[in-house]
Structure 1
Amino acid sequence: MMNSTVNEWTIQELENKAIDIRKDLCTFIYRIGIAGHLGGELSMIDMAVALYYKYMNYDPKNPEMPERDRLILSKGHCAEALFTIYQDMGMYTMDYMVDHFETLETAKFSMHPNRKYVDAIEASTGSLGHGMPIATGLALGARMSNENWRTFCIIGDGELQEGTNWEAFMTAGHYQLGNLVAIIDKNDLQMSGPTNLTNSIDPLDEKMRAFGWEVIEVNGNDMGEVCVALESLPPSDPHIRRKPICIISNTTKGKGVSFMENVVGWHAGVLNKEDLEKAIESIENTRKVR
């Protein structure tokens, strides 16, 4: 599945877009003035950008079109990453999101995604471990309805210490839901420290294969590898029974911001003006000169 050739211009465009989104995300967190979960948000940006701007069937002008691909953000505390993408795609302005972020009477945006208030959100998540069961149900529903859309689910590695994920993995493998893609953002850190010291999930690839999944492992902060993995996905067809696909996306927590990378304390944090300036500079310095 990893033999696909990706246009180099596509990779460059998505790399630059990921840099812009990271900068906007930091600006958004600074402007709302409360702790954002920047560590895990920054680690998943490359994958999320590739999905929304290239590899998902998705129209920001019509976020509820019936034939759209669905993305469930199981690690719901990282919703600000998606909000930042939505504003870049023209669905909202940043000013609007800031003005309606956890306000007493007019809240629409919050630290966790709320399907009731944000049309682009597929499910209200953040009670960790429950996004994968929702995604499995959606994929099974698509099969029963003879719909060709695909379901993606972005999961944090710390979430895999929750049993509901493994029930969902077992169910998806049993029903051979080939229209389901689980993307595990494996940044190896969670709020309490290194994932392998809290409750090790390794060897993850072997476990997923044992549960009946096909496994692709990539550097999730290398846009080239991300694109090859996503472009190599077979067409979604509800009538074909095949193994669901798990992309193990090995990433760096806090990716792009030098003082946040692999630092547990930036699982969540507030940015002051000096932090923001340093973060923007650090992110911009990752832009490749070609």
Structure 2
Amino acid sequence: MINFNGTIVSQDANILKQNRAFLYGDAVFETVKIISNKILFLEDHYFRLMSSMRVIRMEIPMNFTMEYFEEQILSLVGNNSLSDSSRARITVYRNDGGYYLPNDNSVSFLIHAVALENVSYFIEKKEYEVDLYKDFYVTKQLLSSIKTTNKIINITGSIYARENGLDNCVLLNDSKNVVEVLQGNIFMLIGNRLITPPVSEGCLNGVMRKQILGLAKKIDHLKVVEEAISPFDLQKADELFITNVIKGIQPITKYRKKTFTTNVANQLVQMLNEMIRLN
């Protein structure tokens, strides 16, 4: 028997009692965007998931190929009539057993999906304000660059943003440099230099980050660099924007007393949609 919300019930009634993702955050995940029954950037998502599983020493099943990954996701969204435009999350977790030390490294996975309203990426014409989140810091290590289910900094930061009327918060690493935002990577335009922190600073090795780096290098007047960003640099910027696979690009319009343009963000969204159409 177990106590669940103050009621004594059969221990078989709660499937989470041995689930390692729930108990220890022993899981990794990928969130993908599906448009017209196609998973965007499938190869990048697949190889990041495989890399994440290796980093935390999970066994990769022999049948867990990219084709299998694609088939399982598209089967789910098809059965739920979500093939036109949706987001799906695949969570891979180590199987039940053990405490901190697992009994073995075998895995199971869970996929769920929800509909999205828009097929193309677009930028909402609204104010988007951010500030620094300094209660906790991201560590500069390999684990910070992969998507695990231990996202307590992102959760507490999101609560802080809501309590302070912000749309998002900028996360700092243990060197007090800018790492990313709560829901994606960050880019900063100063003059003709488009800058984003390198993965070595502790930021997520984002799939959309990779796409934007590639597209930005095709803009003639831009110099694209990966280098550390201090919080003081943000107020010198001409433009700031956030990237993730679901939203694409979200311009930051206000940081403290500074407001920003959105010209490069708009150009990159057009290029991103064109790339998707061609592929």
TM-score norm. by structure 1 comes to: 0.28
Structure (1/2) with the larger helix percentage:
1
Structure (1/2) with the larger strand percentage:
2
Which of 1 and 2 has higher RCO (CA within 8 Å, sep 6+)?
1
Q: Which has the larger radius of gyration?
A: 2
